[in-house]
Amino acid sequence: MHAITPSLPTPAPGKRALYVLDGGMGTTLQAPPFNLALDSALWSSELLASQSGRDQLVRLHDTWIEAGADIVQTCTYQSTLPLFLPASDLESPQAHSTALKTMTAALPVAAQSASSAPQGSGSQPRRARVALSLGPYGSSLSPGQEYTGAYPPPFGPSETAARDAKPGCSQQALEACPLPLEQISPAENHSATADDEAERYLAAWHLQRLQQFSSSAEWSSEIDILAFETVPSLAEIRAIRRAMHAFTASRDGAAAVPFYISLVFPRTSDSDSAVRFPDPALAHLVTLQDQMPLLVQTALGSLGSDYARPGGLGFNCTSPLHAKRVVGLLSRHVRDQLAQSGSGSDDAAADAEKPWLFVYPDGGAVYDVVSRSWHHPTGLTDSSWAALVADAVADAVPPVPAALAQGEATGTPWAGVVVGGCCKAGPSAIKALRQEVEKRQWR
């Protein structure tokens, strides 16, 4: 099955296929000059409910683009329809319509900034790309479980579920928005396991959000990439691929929207000495090096005809101190995966099968749950953070198109690279990252 590759502009003459993503939305809105108190289950998405809140989001998107971002993400990471439903009116069609309109307002808000972005000092508008931010199921739980993957049944096995995790909304709100389970067909290529029910429910959960967001008028004209982010388990990787297959198959010939899957690699201890994929099902694989072959196979390999293949793979909300090692392991096993699938050569056909690499680590800060504050044990500045991110992808960035035209081997398993930031990576960090990639003549 061919990948649904990201729709990104052709690099300028002499430049490489590398683009800059924005940074951490919620933590930036909580910091100066916004200074917003965001404490609901929707976090930054609560701003969508008012015109003043939407104006703040436009201001934020503009800030990212002014800092040098080529791609801005929508304010939708934690958005699910039940969270937008008013507790006093869960059943009426008008309540559902209003909630859906509020949730999908994030799309025109991002599009407004992207369509009016200036291109350098010229007068012609430059259209930044828009990525629909889609957090994992764990982002809808309280407390959030995107860094553990310890989901409660039926979204995960009971034996590994976090004891205190529960939906961020009421049971009545969930019942008012039943999942489209009947649209997720049985898995084909693996025998029944304890993960099967979890995978089916997760696929239905992701499919429902895709269906809801696609009701927006801006879906076809303004959304360039679907960003499935902070994914913490193999079952959810498979579920996303199944959801994308079911969604694309139901669109009656409409063009498929490109998507990528971004994993998360939390620290294994407070010492920040190592990171690993948090899936409880992989507890027997102690190190990231042990885990990576299975992660890449699950994300990019052939799982059956009901699984769409993403056009990009990467990670977010991971310490920048470990970004280079994670990229190295990803690159090694993606190259192996391409070779196994017959796409390992450097001809044009093989290059068309290569995925994009997405790397947007956190800003290097650590959150203290006792003091409820952030601190910087590594002492990273914006410029040193930007250098770490650029160093991490240096070997992954493809050569300039002219070199490819002359038959030069790419030396990389990636079609292109997107770099940015996550939590605590603000506009000044993205500006520093843009300056870093331009200094290296990648842009």
Domain ranges of the chain: 3-439
Residue 189 pLDDT: 52
Q: Taking 50 as the threshold, does the pLDDT of residue 348 lie above it? A: yes
Q: What would the mean pLDDT of 342-348 be, rounded to a whole number?
A: 57
Model confidence pLDDT, tens digit, residues 270-312? 666 789 999 999 999 999 999 999 999 999 999 999 999 999 9
Among 269, 260, 198, smallest CA distance to 230 is for: 260
Model confidence pLDDT, tens digit, residues 176-186? 999 999 999 76
Model confidence pLDDT, tens digit, residues 90-122? 888 999 999 999 999 999 999 999 987 555 544
Report d(CA 230, CA 212) in Å as an integer.
Answer: 21
Lowest mean per-residue pLDDT among 14-18, 59-63, 86-90, 376-380: 376-380
> Are the CB atoms for 319 and 401 separated by under 8 Å?
no
Answer yes or no: is 177 a known binding residue. no
In terms of C-beta density within 10 A (0-12 exposed, 13-18 middle, 19 or more buried), how is residue 383 classed? middle
State the chain's mean pLDDT as an integer. Answer: 88
- What are residue 221's phi and psi, to 5 degrees? -95, -25
Query: Tokens representing 189?
Result: 């290529």
Lowest mean per-residue pLDDT among 50-64, 112-126, 355-369, 405-419: 112-126
Among 357, 425, 424, smallest CA distance to 394 is for: 357
Strands 259-263 and 18-20, bridge-based pairing: unpaired
Among 279, 285, 280, 286, smallest CA distance to 159 is for: 280
Answer yes or no: is 169 a known binding residue. no
In terms of C-beta density within 10 A (0-12 exposed, 13-18 middle, 19 or more buried), how is residue 284 classed? exposed
Where do we find the tokens 């009701």? Answer: 215
110-117 contacts, C-beta under 8 A, 24 or more apart: 110/57, 110/61, 110/72, 110/73, 110/74, 110/75, 110/222, 111/218, 111/221, 111/222, 112/58, 112/61, 113/58, 113/61, 113/62, 113/65, 113/72, 114/61, 114/65, 114/72, 114/222, 115/222, 117/62, 117/65
Strands 225-231 and 129-134, bridge-based pairing: parallel
Q: Taking 60 as the threshold, does the pLDDT of residue 18 lie above it? A: yes
Count of positions (residues) in the chain? 443
Answer yes or no: is 423 a known binding residue. yes
pTM for this model (two decimals): 0.93
Report d(CA 115, CA 128) in Å as an integer.
Answer: 7
Out of 3.40.50.1820, 3.20.20.330, 3.90.1560.10, 3.50.50.60, the CATH code matching 3-439 is: 3.20.20.330
Report d(CA 55, CA 57) in Å as an integer.
Answer: 5
Report d(CA 189, CA 15) in Å as an integer.
Answer: 42
Report d(CA 443, CA 438) in Å as an integer.
Answer: 5
> Are the CB atoms for 278 and 147 separated by under 8 Å?
yes
Q: Taking 70 as the threshold, does the pLDDT of residue 126 lie above it? A: no
Residue 407 pLDDT: 46
DSSP state of 368: E
Q: What would the mean pLDDT of 27-46 be, rounded to a whole number?
A: 88
Lowest mean per-residue pLDDT among 132-146, 281-295, 299-313, 330-344: 330-344
> Are the CB atoms for 142 and 80 separated by under 8 Å?
no
